[in-house]
Structure 1
């Protein structure tokens, strides 16, 4: 499981790849979260907007989801990953209503709690999703993309 995750807005894949060694830092607008697997979270969010459901997906269904998030920079031995959020997910997050974000946060929290129990992140996942949705709005208006950087 990843530890420190920053979801951030960058102009393009090249700019996002440039964050690999030091992270997005203050240069990029970002939202932080701890102790989640960003690949799985991104796939779960994408699934929610493509096939809306008030129920958290089963692990089997989630891991069968395609397309799976793509690396901008493949992970090396240091454990750092930079992952691009799908464009359709960025658009969906930018257009999401407060009710949709709340329902998604509830599903995401339920799935993490069932899988991770007491090891679940102590971050407010609703606030994390709201922050990422704000980044998505900025990305859509600026013509950029959303990424996750995790270590």
Structure 2
């Protein structure tokens, strides 16, 4: 479980990886959340949006690790897949609510309790951040510590 999670927009992998030690705040447009497994959430969200199974996405190494200087023992940077970035950017409020509800239900099946309002807020914030990406080279990343 990640204590601090920051989703951010960066122009490329090198720029995203450069913030692994201190995080993206103050350097890139970012959103801060906490107390959930960000890697697992990225896979689950993409699975819900695209219909691919969790196993298929995990086998495809989604999300891609961009920086992991401490071999999983410290801060990490993940690249949000293009499919999830596009799905978030194009989702309307109804679709975001549906994905949020399914995510909360899936987490409940694993005995994780998520507040539906917080879940919806996370996805809405990510959708807004993704929709502000206007340069095709910019991508959405996730930093965790």
Q: TM-score under structure 1 normalisation?
A: 0.83
Matches within 5 A, 1:1-151: 1-51=1-51, 62-65=54-57, 66-67=59-60, 68-76=62-70, 78-117=73-112, 120=114, 124-139=118-133, 141-143=134-136, 144-151=138-145
Q: Distance in 2 between matches of 1:13 and 1:117?
A: 32
Q: Distance in 1 between matches of 2:123 and 2:112?
A: 20
Indicate the structure with greater helix content.
1
C-alpha distance 130-8 of structure 1, shift in aligned 2 (>3 A): same
Instruction: Tell me which stretches of 4 or more aligned residues in structure 1 moved more than 3 Å.
Output: 120-123
Gaps of 5+ in 1: 53-60
3-state SS of paired residue (2:19): coil
Deviation track 1:17-68 (CA, whole Å, cap 9, x = no partner) reads 011110001221111211111111111111122118xxxxxxxx52453432
C-alpha distance 96-145 of structure 1, shift in aligned 2 (>3 A): same
Q: Give, in angstroms, the shift of residue 11 of structure 1.
A: 0.9
Q: Distance in 1 between matches of 2:100 and 2:28?
A: 24
Q: Distance in 1 between matches of 2:87 and 2:67?
A: 24
Q: Give, in angstroms, the shift of residue 74 of structure 1.
A: 2.4
C-alpha distance 121-70 of structure 1, shift in aligned 2 (>3 A): farther
3-state SS of paired residue (1:130): helix
Q: TM-score under structure 2 normalisation?
A: 0.86
C-alpha distance 121-24 of structure 1, shift in aligned 2 (>3 A): farther
CA RMSD of aligned residues (A): 2.2
Match of 1:55 in 2: none
Gaps of 5+ in 2: none
Q: Distance in 2 between matches of 1:15 and 1:49?
A: 27
